[in-house]
Structure 1
Amino acid sequence: MEAWREDQLNALLAPGGQDDLFGTVAGLVRALGFEHCAYGMRAPLPLAQPEIVMLNDYPEAWQKRYQDNAYLQVDPTVRQGAASLDPFAWSNSDDPLDPAAAFWEDARLHDITCGVSLPALAANSVRGMLTVTRGGERLDAQELRARWPQLLWLGQVAHHGLAREMLTRWRSTSREAMSEREIEILRWVAEGHTNRQIAARLNITERTVNFHLNNAMAKLEVGNRTAAAVRAVVLGILA
């Protein structure tokens, strides 16, 4: 197990972007006896309606079917992953009274019969989930027990790497655009200080504080100082 983890970690740490990293994860998933995988991440922004970013290597027919039928809203694995961070194995339900019976039947028709979902939580409350699936024979207890440690490890490492890659563009772009003074002022805003208090602490005029805050709000694409501070905290700009 230790040798396996070291080999796979080296593969996951190899230079490359989001697509390369996901391709490596997909290869490791197949090596563990599964056929396909999907990674979904609930981005930290916008706060009211967080964006859901998804990657997968499913056949195009299932990808289109999933999107056209808005299955993200009814997928039982997504619902369970959103409700708990506990990893879980699953298989298609045969119960005709199951509220998601139509979804399960459709998945079966696209050769998806079982899988394992691995929710995870990273810094800044970024939540994600790696799901591995296959068709044909369902998982039995013995196979699951043998694969469980590797799957748990892969779920955590994949989430860490993929979430990092997905967030890098937002964070780095915003961080590079901000001046040190703007960041300094936003830190005080985040602490609950008024513009007058910030001006006194930094020995500058309140007008200068307003000037830097307006610039920060424009760069962060928000409408007020509170939203600017919140966005900067979530993106790790004030760290």
Structure 2
Amino acid sequence: MTLTRELSAILGELEGIAPVGYSAGLHIRFATPLVYHSTYPEPWRKHYSDNAYYLRDPVVFWGIGLSGAIRWSEIPMPDPFGVMQQAARFGLTYGAVSSYGPITSRSIVGVARGDREFSKQELAVLTEITGRLHIAARPPSELTPAQVEALQFIANGDRHTAAAAKLGITESAFKARLKSARIRLEARTTSEAVRKAREYGML
């Protein structure tokens, strides 16, 4: 999902409390976030990705299992792969994480700095920003099977007449399905609806 103007503005607020960068995974479902954005140093991001630390990171485990905000140093979970120690070598010496939302669609935001621990006030700000990010990135309500089917035909290159014939419905009924899908996805055009449905993992 591309960053909206609203999401970009809220993410920009994190820069004020995260001198070494931040990471935001919003609406995580089946281990995959709907939106992911990180400003951590590129060498750390590459090292983290190359070693698949997202499967071993105590910060992520804490965020998935609990909600609220906590400093990295206070996370009561083992770190057998030394992810935190390695992060410090890349300049992420101190950090905090905030988790918000239901377990089926959790948002996790991490912030880092190199000079000191995060204050209670900064943790409160992080919590508030995480909640706003979660709300701003919320996906639309689910599409009906008929709406998904109609968008899939368009995504596959079918024209309205051909798609309607394959479904055994009138062309006007097919167009009505597309229109209802556009409304639910808050899309102005059918091509935008197809793009959004793909981004949301509906197609």
Identify if the C-alpha distance between structure 1 residues 86 and 131 changes in structure 2 by more than 3 Å, giving closer, same or farther: same
Q: Which amino acid aligns with 2:3?
A: Q
Equivalent residue in structure 2 for 1:156, among 119, 131, 134: 131
Query: Separation in 2 of the partners of 1:76 and 1:110?
Result: 17
Q: Deviations over 1:139-184 (max 9, x none)?
A: 3xxxx2223332221110012213x2xx35x9579785457xxxxx
Q: How many residues in Structure 1 have an aligned counterpart in Structure 2?
A: 153
Unaligned runs of 5+ in 2: 151-167, 170-199
Equivalent residue in structure 2 for 1:114, among 71, 94, 116: 94
Q: Deviations over 1:51-73 (max 9, x none)?
A: 34532112221111111010101
Match of 1:137 in 2: 116
Identify if the C-alpha distance between structure 1 residues 31 and 69 changes in structure 2 by more than 3 Å, giving closer, same or farther: same
Higher helix content, 1 or 2: 1
Identity of aligned residues (%): 21
Q: Deviations over 1:164-212 (max 9, x none)?
A: 2xx35x9579785457xxxxxxxxxxxxxxxxxxxxxxxxxxxxxxx89
Shift of 1:125: 3.1
- Alpha carbons 1:37, 1:130 under 8 Å: kept: yes
Q: Deviations over 1:5-60 (max 9, x none)?
A: xxxxxxxxxxxx5154443233211223543111114544xxxx553453211222
Q: How does 1:167-182 map to 2 (within 5 A)?
A: 167-168=139-140, 176-177=147-148
Match of 2:81 in 1: 100
Q: Of the two, which has the highest radius of gyration?
A: 1
SS of the counterpart of 1:31?
coil
Query: Separation in 1 of the partners of 2:27 and 2:133?
Result: 15
Identify if the C-alpha distance between structure 1 residues 42 and 28 changes in structure 2 by more than 3 Å, giving closer, same or farther: closer
- Alpha carbons 1:37, 1:57 under 8 Å: kept: yes
Return the TM-score normalized by structure 1.
0.52
Q: How does 1:37-48 map to 2 (within 5 A)?
A: 37-41=22-26, 43-44=28-29
Q: Does 1:89 align with 2:67?
A: no
Q: How does 1:55-74 map to 2 (within 5 A)?
A: 55-74=37-56
Identify if the C-alpha distance between structure 1 residues 21 and 173 changes in structure 2 by more than 3 Å, giving closer, same or farther: farther
Equivalent residue in structure 1 for 2:3, among 14, 18, 22: 18
Shift of 1:112: 0.2
Equivalent residue in structure 1 for 2:107, among 128, 135, 138: 128
Q: Does 1:36 align with 2:26?
A: no
Query: Separation in 1 of the partners of 2:99 and 2:14?
Result: 16
Shift of 1:136: 2.4
Match of 2:122 in 1: 147
Q: Which amino acid aligns with 2:127?
A: L
Query: Separation in 2 of the partners of 1:37 and 1:174?
Result: 37
Structure with more contact order per residue of length (Cα contacts < 8 Å, sep ≥ 6): 2
Identify if the C-alpha distance between structure 1 residues 64 and 28 changes in structure 2 by more than 3 Å, giving closer, same or farther: same
Query: Separation in 2 of the partners of 1:178 and 1:149?
Result: 44
SS of the counterpart of 1:131?
strand
Query: Separation in 1 of the partners of 2:33 and 2:16?
Result: 27
Return the TM-score normalized by structure 2.
0.60
